[in-house]
Amino acid sequence: MLTEDALLELLTDLESDRVERTTSTNNTDKSSQAVCAFANDLPNHCAPGYLLVGVRDDGSLCGLSVTDQLLQNLGAIRSDGNVLPQPMLSVAKFTLQGGDVAVVEVMPSDMPPVRYRGSVHVRVGPRKAIANEQEERALTEKRTARAHTFDVMPFPEASLDDLSLRLFSEYRSQVIAPDVIDANHRSLEEQLASLRLFDMAKKCPTTTGILLFGNNPRFFLPGAYVQFLLFPGTTMTDLPIDQAEFSGDMRTVLDGLRDKFRACNRMGMTQGGGFQDRLSPDYPEWAVRELLHNAVMHRDYQSNTPIRFYWFSDRIEIQSPGGLYGEVTPETFMSRNSYRNPVMAEALKSMGYVNRFGFGILRAQKLLEENGNPSAEFRFEDRVVAVTIRLGAQ
């Protein structure tokens, strides 16, 4: 974050395209568009951009009093899922003569183009604009040069023929603003590349493109499936009474897991208030689905090991290959996020399988508690993250 002296310099530099000034404290669209534009860094400054709240266009202060709620609202732009991929930003309050200033510092993204509600916003001099096709292409090329994570790596063994274009068309309508689609004159490859699903240099799909829309992802990624086993007791010594393997495009996998869960999840009677009995499931559906989606989102797709979804008479166990990633440790697991597959995470959010980044596990724990189940238990083993969800008191 910048210093107070650096902030004073920004206040007087009225021509900088790295600064957005506003006196509005409740215009979420304007703030999110500014964050999106700075994250795209179209001029290629390779330096942060700054949203200054409490500052007039002429650089003077408007006498704003910055509250904790305002800082929380600005910080929430990072994780509310409307700016994708997630921007890297920090928020701070400065108290100056003439009023407070809330500063949002936005770092350039390694994975442009960044979109806010389906549109790519960029800085053109001191103002914001919607990127045209040429500008989007430049951002896509920038991302290709910076690609680091496996989910955006090209897959030369695959081609467009290995993707379901029908599924891509449905997905595109979810993540791209309708007016952008209507004005689209780009080739199919360019449309896929703008969403990090195709590599223009290698002329092939990326890993995420195969996982999302592949006709047979497992052909290219042998571990890209979920193994389900239903056991009659509490151990694996008995033969399973049901088993399945869920593979294919991402929607087929996740919807298949949903249907299997519903088929296996028993409903029982519990006593409610006023001696009223009510139906209660063994496990709250969205708690288990949050944890399954987490496993799919964060697993290591370079591993040939599947996700294991084992259902016993007293518990459910989910094992995801890959272990913890990045800055996350067993101590910070509940409070810090690092994405092994950031483009996959973006896609699951856009498809409605993830509601908001960074809150899935906390939400699952709350739903388990409300249903009378113990909290989910996590184990971090060598290259594996395992979670156990236990049955509540009967």
**DSSP one-letter code for 109:** P
CA distance 109 to 124: 17
Q: Are residues 233 and 373 in the same domain?
A: yes
Q: Are residues 164 and 283 in the same domain?
A: no
CA distance 130 to 202: 28
* pLDDT over threshold 90, residue 271: no
Q: What is the pLDDT of residues 376-393, one digit of tens each?
A: 999 988 789 999 999 987
Q: Which of 73, 101, 129 is the last residue of a domain?
A: 129
CA 138 vs CA 42, 49, 122, 350: distances in Å: 8, 19, 12, 23
CATH code of 85's domain: 3.30.950.30
Is this model's pTM higher than 0.85 or not? no
Averaged pLDDT for residues 296-308: 92
pLDDT band for 315, please (50, 70, 90 cuts).
very high
Q: Are residues 233 and 214 in the same domain?
A: no
Any domain includes 312: yes
**DSSP one-letter code for 377:** E
Q: Are residues 154 and 209 in the same domain?
A: yes
Q: Are residues 50 and 192 in the same domain?
A: no
Most confident of 76-85, 250-259, 353-362: 250-259
Helix (H) or strand (E) holding 192: helix 188-194
Any domain includes 163: yes
Number of domains in the chain: 3
Q: Are residues 236 and 334 in the same domain?
A: yes
CA 194 vs CA 59, 137, 206: distances in Å: 36, 7, 12
Q: Are 197 and 205 in contact, with CB atoms under 8 Å apart?
A: yes
Residue written as token pair 């208030």: 273
- Using only the alpha carbons of the chain, give its radius of gyration: 24
pLDDT band for 133, please (50, 70, 90 cuts).
confident
* pLDDT over threshold 70, residue 302: yes
Taking the CB of residue 185, how many other CB atoms lie within 10 A of it?
A: 6
Any domain includes 139: no
Q: Are residues 202 and 315 in the same domain?
A: no
Q: What is the pLDDT of residues 141-156, one digit of tens each?
A: 777 666 678 888 888 8
Any domain includes 138: no
Q: Are residues 241 and 314 in the same domain?
A: yes
Considering the chain, what is the average pLDDT of its residues? 88
Taking the CB of residue 318, how many other CB atoms lie within 10 A of it?
A: 22
Residue written as token pair 């994570």: 149
Residue ranges of the alpha helices (H) in 231-390? 250-264, 285-298, 342-350, 360-371
Q: Are residues 68 and 166 in the same domain?
A: no
Residue written as token pair 């151990």: 235
Q: Are residues 11 and 112 in the same domain?
A: yes
pLDDT band for 291, please (50, 70, 90 cuts).
very high
Q: What is the pLDDT of residues 254-269, one digit of tens each?
A: 999 999 999 999 887 6
Q: Which of 169, 186, 220 is the last residue of a domain?
A: 220
Q: Are residues 38 and 124 in the same domain?
A: yes
CA distance 226 to 209: 18
What's the domain range around 171? 147-220
* pLDDT over threshold 60, residue 196: yes
Averaged pLDDT for residues 328-355: 79
Q: Which of 171, 188, 220 is the last residue of a domain?
A: 220
Any domain includes 215: yes
Question: Which pLDDT score, from 0 to 100, does residue 201 have?
Answer: 85
If DSSP codes are grouped into helix, strand and coil, which group holds residue 20?
strand
Q: How far is CA 12 from the centre of its chain?
A: 37
* pLDDT over threshold 90, residue 89: yes
* pLDDT over threshold 60, residue 275: no
Any domain includes 137: no
What burial letters (b/e) apply to 95-116, b meaning 16+ CB within 10 Å? eeeebbbbbbbbbbbbbbbbbb
Question: Which pLDDT score, from 0 to 100, does residue 283 have?
Answer: 95
**DSSP one-letter code for 143:** H
Mention every residue, 6+ apart, whose C-beta is less than 8 A from residue 127: none
